[in-house]
Structure 1
Amino acid sequence: MRSLPLPAAVLWDMDGTLVDTEPYWMASETALASRHGGTWTHEQGLQLVGNDLITSARIIKAQTGVPGTDEEIVEQLLAGVVERVRTQGAPWRPGALALLARLRGAGVPCALVTMSYDVFAGAVLEAAPPGTFDVVVTGDQVERGKPDPEAYLTAAGRLGVDVTRCVAIEDSPPGVAAAVASGARTIAVPLLVPIEAQEGLSRLRTLEDVGVELLGRVADGDVVDDFEPAGRRGSR
């Protein structure tokens, strides 16, 4: 068996990938619309998955008439979601914490790359083991949100690693587009929104039982796709 190098780093999206906080966001969006006499549906909420917060605020404003600046709408959404994390906990996606522990044990650096703002990322990180992430890049630290690759390139730059030797883990189309555009080897673990197959993209149904070896294979150029018919997909 060939000996594979470890990834230079693993770059993690947060909402929907590390933690299943999308229901928290949708509840906050619904509450915001309701306070101003509007309505907000699950289908409308799906439009926002993976977007940067300013884009999400503009969509909410256009579709509900909620008053205020984009920044004020973002602040209200964040307040609702942070409160839910602190009172209800961080709902980790299956296998995420175990994989983070395996990577830490193998000495592979990890970065959190999220379009959520620092105040919310901090609330989630408070619930994670100390030292889980070497670098944190949030949506209020970059000029251009996903699907632009700036956040991923920023994370790799802060870690001092070649982004093309990194593995990014994402759950949404905008996030996948950002990771792929950065040059990182990308794994999609879809949650609420399907991720279509594309050349070079790995797709997993879950992070449960995923090991460092699989990430090493992906970093080395292998593509693993749990959604392809049997006989065509890679194995773990």
Structure 2
Amino acid sequence: MTSTVPAPLPRAADGSQLQAVLLDMDGTLVDTEGFWWEAEVAVFAELGHRLDESWKDIVVGGPMSRSGGYLIEATGASISLAELSVLLNERFEARIADHVPLMPGAERLLAELARHNVPTALVSASHRAVIDRVMRSLGPDRFTISVAGDEVPRTKPHPDPYLLAARTLGVHPSRCAVIEDTVTGVAAAEAAGCPVVAVPSVAAIAPAPGRTVVSSLEDVDLAFLRSLITGLN
């Protein structure tokens, strides 16, 4: 199910209960952040430009408009952002056509959430075509809804994707646990008012109020996510 259907207003926060779990995709559930960088390196090589490895930390986890725009400016490549977006999405989709590697603990966590009927949303800056392909590997039935980066006026680091996910599910953002792997994604979730579990994939993320940092999804289960909400009271 996509997030484009009309949505009810969030119901009031219900005491200390966890109402939903909202999950990022690349680098959080699937080990694909490196795939995006490989796609960027390959596309820019074809354009006659070499990407500096130090740029990887700058572009990871952000929307195509930001990462692509940065790389165009940094390299001086003669290509529009729209043209680059098409090339990168095509290259990435080809890379994941046969296999999408899951992050450690992802399969177990998704199964546990499904077993306990916890509403879930996949919230990604990736485009709908990419999300749908990845969801075929994750199991589309594992998610109540999904929100793609090309379905909101402003994607991460803005709060819009997470606010839309909460609204569509009919839950309150403060009762949604968000799982993210990048500073950009964490910023979006926190701006939406959601407690966050950060599982850094590329760049370090510091702990902060309302934010818990763990080393792996292996450290995350339903009891842990529920404790994030009860701890707010």
- The residue correspondences of 1:50-89 to structure 2 (distance < 5 A) are 50-87=61-98, 89=99
| Partners of 1:119 and 1:41 in 2: CA distance | 28
Shift of 1:44: 1.1
Is contact 1:6-1:215 (8 Å) kept? no
Q: Is 1:17 aligned to residue 28 of structure 2? A: yes
Flag structure 1 segments of 5+ consecutive residues without an equivalent. Answer: 223-236
Q: Residue 159 of structure 2 aligns with which residue?
A: 149
The one-letter amino acid paired with 1:45 is K
Shift of 1:41: 2.8
| Partners of 1:153 and 1:13 in 2: CA distance | 14
Shift of 1:198: 1.3
Q: Is 1:164 aligned to residue 148 of structure 2? A: no
SS in 1 for 2:22: strand
Question: Once superposed, what is the RMSD of the aligned Cα atoms?
Answer: 1.4
SS in 2 for 1:191: coil
| Partners of 2:131 and 2:54 in 1: CA distance | 25
Shift of 1:178: 0.6
The one-letter amino acid paired with 1:221 is G
| Partners of 1:106 and 1:132 in 2: CA distance | 11
Is contact 2:179-2:199 (8 Å) kept? yes
How has the CA–CA distance of structure 1 residues 173 and 62 changed in structure 2, closer, same or farther, with 3 Å as cutoff? same
| Partners of 1:7 and 1:53 in 2: CA distance | 32
Instruction: Give per-residue Cα distances to partners, 1:70-91, cap 9 Å, x unaligned.
Output: 111111111111111113x111
Moved more, 67-76 or 151-160: 67-76
Is contact 1:18-1:92 (8 Å) kept? yes
The one-letter amino acid paired with 2:138 is A
Instruction: Give per-residue Cα distances to partners, 1:59-105, cap 9 Å, x unaligned.
Output: 11101122222111111111111111113x11111001110110111
Q: Is 1:99 aligned to residue 99 of structure 2? A: no
- The residue correspondences of 1:102-181 to structure 2 (distance < 5 A) are 102-181=112-191
Moved more, 197-206 or 103-112: 197-206
Is contact 1:6-1:212 (8 Å) kept? no
Is contact 1:172-1:193 (8 Å) kept? yes
Is contact 1:22-1:49 (8 Å) kept? yes
Instruction: Give per-residue Cα distances to partners, 1:10-38, cap 9 Å, x unaligned.
Output: 00011111111011111100011100111
Shift of 1:209: 5.0
What is the count of residue pairs matched by the alignment?
218
The one-letter amino acid paired with 1:67 is S
Q: Residue 43 of structure 2 aligns with which residue?
A: 32
TM-score (normalised: structure 1): 0.89
Is contact 1:20-1:91 (8 Å) kept? yes
| Partners of 2:220 and 2:55 in 1: CA distance | 32
Which has the higher relative contact order, 1 or 2, with Cα contacts under 8 A spaced 6 or more apart?
2
Give the percent of matched residue pairs that are identical in Structure 1 and Structure 2: 37
Is contact 2:33-2:61 (8 Å) kept? no
Shift of 1:6: 4.8
Equivalent in 5, 8, 14 of residue 19 of structure 2: 8
| Partners of 1:67 and 1:160 in 2: CA distance | 45
The one-letter amino acid paired with 1:95 is G
The one-letter amino acid paired with 2:227 is R
Shift of 1:5: 5.7
TM-score (normalised: structure 2): 0.90
Flag structure 2 segments of 5+ consecutive residues without an equivalent. Answer: 1-14
Shift of 1:147: 1.1
The one-letter amino acid paired with 2:90 is A
